[in-house]
Structure 1
Amino acid sequence: MTRTVQQLFDLTGRAALVTGGSRGLGLQIAESLGEAGAKIVLTSRKAADLQEAAAHLKSRGIDAHWIAADASDPAEVQRVVDEAIRLVGDIDILVNNAGATWGAPAADHPLEAWDKVMNLNVRSVFLFSQAVGKRCMIPRKHGRIINVASIAGLGGNPPFMTTVAYNTSKGAVVNFTRVLAGEWGQHGITVNAIAPGFFPSKMTAGTLAKVGADNLAKGAPLQRIGDDEDLKGLALLYASDAGKHITGQIMAVDGGVSAIHSG
């Protein structure tokens, strides 16, 4: 007998690890998975932010925990995975959301800033996927990996945006998603990416202040930027059995911006 839609989207009994989960898009995704029944472990660098985020999730009836760590450090990544398993059991869902950006013209972009962006946006995605995959997903022949990319990884920039390292890193996440999906499909693991457009966040605050949210909204067919609900549906689809036959896909959540700039 086939399951109902409600049963397919139900995450009761599942455990999710969300990197960069203390605020913004990561916290929105954590809310979505927790509201569907998953136990949540948040990780990012700042303990105070994590504590506040976990309290917010708990106020919504979600089983939430947190671990402060540097996502670009291999030893820290392993510690997070070990501690998360101790707290909630084997990890069923990994959300690779931790990220950073840096604004500078390509000709003058500091090398240390390039390395910082690449280490967090690309290296951490590999490290967490490898650690969780080897420890939890491959042995159990089941897993869901959700990578947070960006429409910045799907193309170039208008002249007012000088984020060469960020765009390059998100392009890497896009292809990492496809490559890992191909390699790990045999283990029952799906690997997909969300490519958000402009959402209000600490990372986009500078651009929103410079260009204006209204002006950015005018460039989207839906005439709006993202809000604090717009990633929830896709994240839950990727994480649940409703999306069990979807892998290696990159879905833009951008109000249609990528549709009119794809060619």
Structure 2
Amino acid sequence: MSSLSIEQLFGVKGYVAAVTGGSSGLGFMISKGLVTNGANVYLIDLPTEPIEEKVAGLNELGRSSGGTAYGLPCDVTDKDAVARVATFIAERESHLDILISNAGIRRDPPVQCNVLSASLTELQESMWSARPSDWADTFCVNTTAHYFLSVALLPLLAAASELNLGGGRQGRSEGRGVIVITSSCASMHNATNVDLTSYATSKAATDHLVRLLAAKFRKFYVRVAGINPGFVPSKMNPVGEEGNMFSSLFDQVPAKRAGNEEDIAGAIMYLVSRAGAYVNGVSLCVDGGRVLVANGQE
């Protein structure tokens, strides 16, 4: 039986990756992890985001590893824009080893309340203040966009899975041809300090989408996995900032802290490399144990 080194198990050097929402938060953490380990990353984000600035930083970071970054502006809710991104990458790459479909939003009700302590009137007022457009936008970004992006890039991902690497090895045996979709541990518990219903519901739908896509792509062994992060710094969750609605809960997480860059990058490196090549159709909760204590939490 052969024994693989850490580099062989978790290595992504030379892999081609695309990361949506890649210029901030989780997406940038993931992009940094990939570039630092020698991957070539297409960083995809809204045109209003500082894409070129982040790409320049990534390319500086990748000097020692050979990793590179290239910025692509795209609104992932625009099906035609997603198709253009797929065409752009296909014109430059023969395959795509990794798709990190990470872009997401949260739209809280304008009128907020503590769900546990609110009166019936206060709870109804808060929940009723949610706008139908916020629900539609949340599902469009958090669920539907993952679907169309995965479908648009399927031929390139399948080509990665089918790569002939020599010695009887195919790309799929090295973990190539994988989609990782960012969900949230909010899909797995009942948030009680604030009404996150539209966000949590969209993420629960995303968890099921992971399984649906994995089943549909199984013939080509394009793997689909999900990650369900807990408290991790992002625009959506400004960990450490005064007034953050979740700050009082950090010490109640079994890990006694918020997540960090290494926690997220480590989970991704496992799923997209040889180490995770036999993992398909599942979601990995990266939350420090948040869901173990979250239901009914004060």
Runs of 5+ consecutive residues of structure 2 not aligned to the other structure: 110-125, 163-171
Q: Is the 8 A contact 1:214 1:224 kept in 2?
A: no
SS at match of 2:153: helix
Name the structure 2 match of 1:192.
225
- Bigger drift between 218-227 and 81-90 goes to 81-90
Structure 2 counterparts to residues 48-197 of structure 1, below 5 A: 48-61=49-62, 62-104=67-109, 105-133=126-154, 135-139=155-159, 140-141=161-162, 142=172, 143-158=177-192, 160-197=193-230
Q: Deviations over 1:201-229 (max 9, x none)?
A: 11113996435665221110111011222
SS in 2 for 1:231: helix
Preserved CA contact (<8 Å) 1:13 1:38: yes
Partner residue in 2 for 1:17: 18
Other-structure match for 2:45:
44
Shift in Å at residue 48 of structure 1? Answer: 4.9
Whether contact under 8 Å (2:86, 2:153) holds in the other structure is: yes
Query: Structure 1 residue 217 and structure 2 residue 238: aligned?
Result: no
In 2, Cα distance between equivalents of 1:155 and 1:219: 15
Alignment check: 8 A CA contact 1:15 1:89 kept:
no
Q: 1:115 to 1:209 in 2, by over 3 A?
A: farther
Q: Cα deviation per residue 1:7-62 (whole Å; 9 max; x = unaligned)? A: 12221221000000011100111111222221100111135511111111111113
Aligned equivalents of 2:211, 2:4: Cα separation in 1: 28
Q: Which has the higher helix share?
A: 1
Q: Which structure: larger Rg?
A: 2
Aligned residue for 2:191, secondary structure, equals coil
- 1:251 is matched with 284
Contact 1:216/1:225 (8 A) holds in 2: no
Deviations 1:121-176 (Å, cap 9, x if unpaired)? 1111001111111x212355451110110001112211x32222111111111111
Name which of 207, 229, 251 aligns with 2:262: 229
Letter in 2 for 1:144: V
Runs of 5+ consecutive residues of structure 1 not aligned to the other structure: none
The list of structure 1 runs, each at least 4 consecutive aligned residues, that deviate by more than 6 angstroms after superposition, is none
The aligned amino acid for 2:89 is A
- The farther-off stretch of 67-76 and 136-145 is 136-145
Whole-angstrom distance in 1 between the partners of 2:295 and 2:91: 44
Does the residue aligned with 2:262 lie in a helix, a strand or coil?
coil
Q: State the Cα RMSD in Å.
A: 2.1
